[in-house]
Amino acid sequence: MTKAAPKNFRVKSFGCQMNVYDGERMAEMLSEQGIVPAAEGEEADLVVLNTCHIREKAAEKVYSDIGRLRKAGAKSGREPMIAVAGCVAQAEGEEIMARSPGVSMVVGPQAYHRLPQMIDRAVKGERVTDTDMPAIAKFGALPARRKRAPSAFLTVQEGCDKFCTYCVVPYTRGAEISRPFADLVEEAKRLVDGGAREITLLGQNVNAWRGEDDRGRAVGLEGLVRALAALPDLARIRYTTSHPNDMTPGLIAAHGELDKLMPYLHLPVQSGSDRVLAAMNRSHTAQSYVRVIEQFREARPDIAISGDFIVGFPGETDAEFEETLRMVDDIRYAAAFSFKYSPRPGTPAATMDAQVPEAVMDERLQRLQSLLAVHSQAFNESTVGKRCDILVERKGRRDGQWIGKTPWLQSAYFTGDAEIGDLVTVELEQAGPNSLAARRLGTVDA
Ligand code: SAH
Ligand code: SF4
Ligand code: F3S
């Protein structure tokens, strides 16, 4: 049955920042085709669910969302055209098509540049799946960036060759690839022209990025960071997510040399136990990880460290979990994400013996999160009294109040004269559980 061509769309992204970036690029591409973003609260003709497969709960969301959309559509007599994109599309494309007749399109993370052609076929009544993998073609085929915002994401690297035994990313995103240096500088310039003061470079293994600079020299991520630091109107550079084994002395040193490189490092570790790290195929030890952090602190003493943790990996004993707690105490994280292990279909860990009971995982997660909360509060308190700049991202709830990020990626708010996109100098005055109160001292530049 043919369908009406969609006039407006909504993209809903789940999961990591790379999905947020992909969602923005899909939105830009659809706008280029003359399909407009649906207004807040308005029903969209086309809904793109940009999904995440990392844990079971994340993956299940797509089916409940499809159900909700179809129900709402049946009620209003106007069912939207549904496209499932992202990592669940890549991993379970066929299953989605079989289970959900309301879905017209399934499009993987490396194929979404072909979405417009897929829509044309869906309009003719076809159900279309495209989960082809070669990643680099996508970027060349996308229209130029249009985003206008003070803080923007820029994907520089995609995919993963590490094959941690619990993780789906190598299967959903494919092999590690680096986008070319010149393309990235070009995209960064467009973002800056559109008002970006801060750019966060993204990659599943961002510090594995490799390229050739404008003089043909082989460079790593620090070479790219240095080139972007030379853009006069760009004030801040961040990057995420790094892998401990891809860390280079050059990138560490850059943190001591470049004011524009923000003092924040997200470096997942997953566990503090060498036996568990080996079973996870992390290919680093607790000690080699701690050594990397020490080197960052030598280069940039105020650097805020963040990490990811998994509790209840198959076979994890109480004593091994305690090693994770000890590592957390050692490192004193400013921020962290921690998860219960979730068995993922097709990964080696899913079929390992000694899966840890849910109740044990619950208890471990709670203990870990309480400890991480103590350290993050301590970090935030340690910044009280400091002067720093806040990049203003939005209005606060109260009149005249503004919210933005400190160099250490804390949320902070102040009252006074400002505009979105300003860098405002403040003194940090008080640390709450989710944000810091600050006093405005002045605007860095108008
Ligand atoms: N490339 C990054 C991030 C990968 S996904 C890295 O190597 O660290 C983000 C986080 O999700 C991981 O760091 C890990 O902590 C968590 N994660 C991945 N697979 C998981 C699983 N099967 N169960 C629970 N947490 C998982
Ligand atoms: Fe997943 Fe490991 Fe690759 Fe990170 S490094 S994306 S956790 S396989
Ligand atoms: Fe999720 Fe895919 Fe990102 S599985 S975390 S959306 S790479």
* 243 and 343 fall within a common domain: no
What's 427's domain CATH number? 2.40.50.140
* 47 phi and psi angles, rounded to 5 deg: -120, 125
Place of tokens 């897929």: 118
Mutate to test the pocket of ligand 3, among 54, 88, 110, 131 (most ligand atoms within 8 A of CB): 54
The domain boundary, picked from 107, 136, 165, lies at 136
E strand segments, 168-286 = 177-178, 198-202, 210-212, 218-220, 236-240, 264-266
296 and 352 part of one domain: yes
pLDDT of residue 72: 87
- Cα dist from 372 to 203, 325, 338, whole Å: 25, 9, 9
Q: How far is the CA of 41 from the centre of ligand 2 (A)?
A: 37
* 3 inside domain: no
Beta strand ranges found along 223-349 (DSSP E): 236-240, 264-266, 304-311, 335-340
365 and 408 both lie in a single domain: no
Does residue 294 fall inside a structural domain? yes
Six-digit token pair at 410? Answer: 């804390």
Question: Is residue 59, in this structure, part of any structural domain at all?
Answer: yes
| Alpha helix segments (H runs only) across 338-406 | 358-382
- Cβ atoms within 10 A of the Cβ of 18, count? 25
87/201 same-domain check: no
- Is there an atom of ligand 1 within 6 Å of 169 CB? yes
pLDDT in tens, the chain (446 residues): 788 899 999 999 999 999 999 999 999 999 999 999 999 888 899 999 999 999 998 888 999 999 999 898 888 888 899 999 999 999 999 999 999 999 999 999 999 999 999 999 999 999 999 998 876 679 888 888 888 899 999 999 999 999 999 999 999 999 999 999 999 999 999 999 999 999 999 999 999 999 999 999 999 999 999 999 999 999 999 999 999 999 999 999 999 999 999 999 999 999 999 999 999 999 999 999 999 999 999 999 999 999 999 999 999 999 999 999 999 999 999 999 999 999 999 999 999 999 999 999 999 999 999 999 999 999 999 999 999 999 999 999 999 999 999 999 999 999 999 999 999 999 999 999 889 999 999 887 64
Q: Which two tokens stand for residue 416?
A: 């006074």
Residue 135 has a pLDDT of 61
Torsion of CA 227, 232, 236, 241, to 10 degrees: -20
> Within a domain: residue 23?
yes
Give the domain-ending residue among 360, 382, 404: 382
Tokens representing 195 are: 């008002």
Q: Which CATH number belongs to the domain containing residue 156 in this structure?
A: 3.30.750.210
Clarify whether residues 14 and 124 are in a common domain. Answer: yes
Give residue 427's domain range: 387-445
Which residues have a Cβ under 8 Å from the Cβ of 63 and sit 6 or more positions away? Answer: 99, 100
Do 169 and 126 lie in a common domain?
no
Q: Which ligand is nearest to the CA of 344?
A: 1
CB 52, CB 87: distance < 8 Å: yes
The H or E element that residue 275 is part of is helix 274-279
Q: Clarify whether residues 154 and 252 are in a common domain.
A: yes
CATH number at residue 104: 3.40.50.12160
Same domain, 212 and 298: no
Q: How many domains does the chain have?
A: 4
Assess if residue 355 is contained within a domain: yes
- The rounded Å distance from CA 399 to ligand 1 centre is 39
Sign of CA dihedral 258, 259, 260, 265: positive
Q: Decide whether any atom of ligand 1 lies within 6 Å of the 25 Cβ.
A: no
Q: What is the pTM of this model?
A: 0.96
What is the Å distance from ligand 3's center to 173 Cα? 8
Q: Which two tokens stand for residue 279?
A: 């079973």
Kindly state whether residues 307 and 354 are assigned to the same domain: yes
d(CA 155, CA 157): 6
Domain assignment of residue 2, yes or no: no
Q: Write the residue with the smallest CA distance to atom 5 of ligand 2.
A: 162
Among 241, 261, 281, residue at a domain's last position: 261
Q: Is the CB of 286 under 6 A from ligand 2?
A: no
d(CA 305, CA 263): 9
On whether both 293 and 253 belong to a single domain, the answer is no
Cα Rg of the chain, angstroms: 23
Per-residue burial over 89-110, b if 16 or more Cβ lie within 10 Å, else e, is bbbbbeebbeebeebbbbbbbb
Q: To 10 degrees, what angle do helices 17-32 and 86-99 make?
A: 70
List the CATH number of the domain containing 338: 3.30.750.200
Answer yes or no: is 371 within a domain: yes
| Residue with tokens 């993209």, as numbered in its chain | 11
Q: What per-residue confidence (pLDDT) applies to 381?
A: 98
Q: Is the CB of 172 under 6 A from ligand 3?
A: yes
Instruction: Identify whether residues 117 and 191 lie together within a single domain.
Output: no
> 344 CB less than 6 Å from ligand 3?
no
3-state class (DSSP) for residue 337? strand
Domain co-membership, 48 together with 121: yes
What is the number of the ligand 3 atom nearest to the C-alpha of 168? 4
Residue 418 alpha carbon to ligand 2 centre in Å: 40
Instruction: Say if 312 falls within a structural domain.
Output: yes
Single out the residue of 434, 427, 378 nearest to residue 409, CA to CA: 434
- Establish whether residue 328 lines the binding site of ligand 2, counting it when its CB lies within 6 angstroms of any ligand atom: no
Mutational pocket test of ligand 2: of 52, 90, 164, 202, the residue with most ligand atoms within 8 Å of the beta carbon: 164
